[in-house]
Structure 1
Amino acid sequence: MYAKFGRMSCASKLFDEMTETSRVSLTALVCGYARLGDMGNARRLFDQMPEKDLAAFNAMIDGYVKLGDMGSMR
């Protein structure tokens, strides 16, 4: 929902205030940032994920493809 309205700063603040985070919440943030083309934040969170899931990988690939920046996937 936050990404749909371009409000990832609100989503990030909510995430930072969570007492317990999960793979699902991290994946949602990665997907939101990637959807908006903010691959810097998406990649930072993706790299921090202890267990990456298929949705996070797909979001990263989709974000880089949309930006035409496949070289940054390495």
Structure 2
Amino acid sequence: MTTRASEIYDQLKTLRFQLEQLGNEGRVVMARDGMNADHPDSAAAVTKALAGLDQAIDATCWMETLATVNGTYPELKD
């Protein structure tokens, strides 16, 4: 598990790249049951998800993580 904000930032960039690839390849499909009333169109859903990831990437870009009192960065617990 990550312990630094910079690692989360890097993971968000990787996730965005991967989702964009899947979308560009037409490999994202949406559930067609009654539970999915909000996002029936996969292209629109991918666009919306990418926009959300862009916001998260933007927000975490300059974040720093403080070390603990003893100077370490312990693993975060689930």
TM-score range, shorter chain: 0.3 to 0.5
- TM-score (norm: length of structure 2): 0.33
Larger Rg: 2
Which protein has greater RCO, CA pairs closer than 8 Å, 6+ apart? 2
Structure with more helix by fraction: 1
